[in-house]
């Protein structure tokens, strides 16, 4: 009998969720391999987009901005779908959430791009990028979660 899916704060691993506590001890190699495989796919997609849309040191990092906001939209959608499915297939969250979306989105590039814009003397770009990414990401994750939850409720009514 499956346990009820509890509301979680952390999409990577939330030790207050019973299934997450057992996840790694039950089959560590499978879980870590799924996360690694997803991480590789996400990181390569990110690298491809950053390569396709490069930005000058003083310019707005559009590729990374788009990657981070779209990744946040998608994690909202994914977690709402998985919540609707009582957690979904066991490897879905580790592979898609922790791996693909975790590997796709990046906080380090965001922080360093802000810092580099300051270093090259473009504080306006740095501030705009800093604020736009935070606000865009939070709006995106909220919209992804709310819209998906609403649609799933309508569909099952």
Partner 1 sequence: MTVLLIALGAAVGAPLRYLTDRAVQSRHGSAFPWGTLLVNVAGSLLLGIVVGWPAGPAVSALLGTGFCGALTTYSTFSYETLRLTTGGHRLLALTNVLGSVTAGLAAATAGYALARALTG
Give the 3-state secondary structure of residue 53. coil
Q: How far is the CB of 126 from partner 1 (least distance, A)?
A: 9
* Residue 49 CB-half CA count within 13 A: 18
Neighbours of 145 (CB within 10 A): 19
Indicate the residue among 87 and 103 with the shorter CB distance to partner 1: 103
Distance CA 31, CA 50 (A): 28
Q: Which residues here bind partner 1, judged by CB under 8 A?
A: 7-15, 24, 31-32, 35-40, 42-44, 46-47, 50, 68, 71-72, 74-76, 79, 94, 97-99, 101-112, 114-116, 119, 130, 133-134, 137-138, 140-142, 145
Question: Does 102 show up as a binding residue in the annotation?
Answer: yes
Sign of CA dihedral 20, 22, 24, 28: negative
The C-alpha atoms of residue 127 and residue 143 are separated, in whole angstroms, by 24
Residue 105 annotated as part of some ligand binding site: yes
Least distance between partner 1 and beta carbon 1 (Å): 26
User: Binding site, residues?
Assistant: 102, 105
User: Binding site for Na(+), residues?
Assistant: 102, 105
């Amino acid at each position: 009998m499956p346990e009820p899916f509890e509301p979680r704060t952390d999409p990577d691993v939330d030790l207050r969720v019973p299934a997450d506590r057992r996840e790694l001890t039950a089959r560590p190699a499978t879980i870590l391999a799924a996360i690694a495989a997803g991480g590789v796919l996400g990181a390569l997609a990110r690298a491809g987009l950053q390569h396709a849309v490069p930005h000058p040191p003083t310019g707005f990092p559009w590729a990374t901005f788009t990657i981070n906001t779209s990744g946040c939209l998608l994690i909202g959608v994914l977690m709402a779908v998985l919540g609707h499915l009582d957690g979904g297939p066991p490897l879905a969250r580790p592979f898609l959430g922790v791996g693909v979306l975790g590997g796709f989105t990046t906080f380090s590039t965001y922080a360093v791009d802000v810092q580099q814009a300051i270093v090259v003397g473009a504080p306006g770009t740095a501030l705009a990028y800093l604020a736009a990414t935070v606000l865009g990401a939070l709006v995106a994750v909220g919209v992804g979660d709310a819209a998906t939850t609403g649609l799933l409720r309508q569909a099952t009514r």
